[in-house]
Copies of this chain bind each other. A is one copy, B any other.
């Protein structure tokens, strides 16, 4: 992710030995686990360290404070999601609009579903975190990828693709989040997913400039 973290959220140093890299992984994993098992308000530096099997002091050698740990965690996660979406977009370059929409929703949905508990935990961990810039960078990255894809569509072109594209992403992101915050039956979730695809597609059809 391009966004440079605000100074007070930047990591203190990067790991130089393999041992340190492993420690960092353990810390991140422990953070997720504590988040899941205890919730954000019981997420303690000590608890995370304990769960990771390291000492608090070790944690503070990499992160200047608790927030920066959560920031880094979100950064990691968003990076992975963005990559998946970008790949999906590249793969559908030049395809039909229907295929594109389906692939986009599929990639994003799948990325969030793979470990839906983690997804939910991270949504919550981000509260009160000064990560607007992070979200913005993520949004713009995905925005660029989908615009590139859509403008290569074999069966349509649009007057105001920028707006259409932003709308599309806002709707998809928001819907996915909303579905996961409530705890809907899996079947209904799947149904909504499909309906969402239908909705996006009919939106694009209504907005396109007919081919000559």
Binding site for B on A (CB under 8 A): 39-41, 124, 127-128, 132, 135-136, 139, 163-164, 166-167, 170-171, 173-179, 181-183, 188, 191-192, 195-196, 198-200, 202-203, 205-207
Pick from B176, B181, B191: contact of A163, CB under 8 Å = B191
Overall SS of chain A's interface: helix
**What would 15 A/B residue contacts be, using CB atoms closer than 8 Å?**
A40-B128, A41-B128, A135-B181, A135-B182, A167-B199, A173-B174, A174-B177, A174-B178, A174-B179, A175-B175, A198-B206, A199-B200, A202-B203, A202-B206, A203-B203
Query: For A128, A167, A200, which residue has the most chain B Cβ atoms within 10 angstroms?
Result: A167
Point out the residues of chain B lying under 8 angstroms from A196, CB to CB. Answer: 167, 171
Copies of this chain, how many? Answer: 2
A171 with B182, Cβ < 8 A, contacts A128-B39, A166-B188, A202-B202 known: no
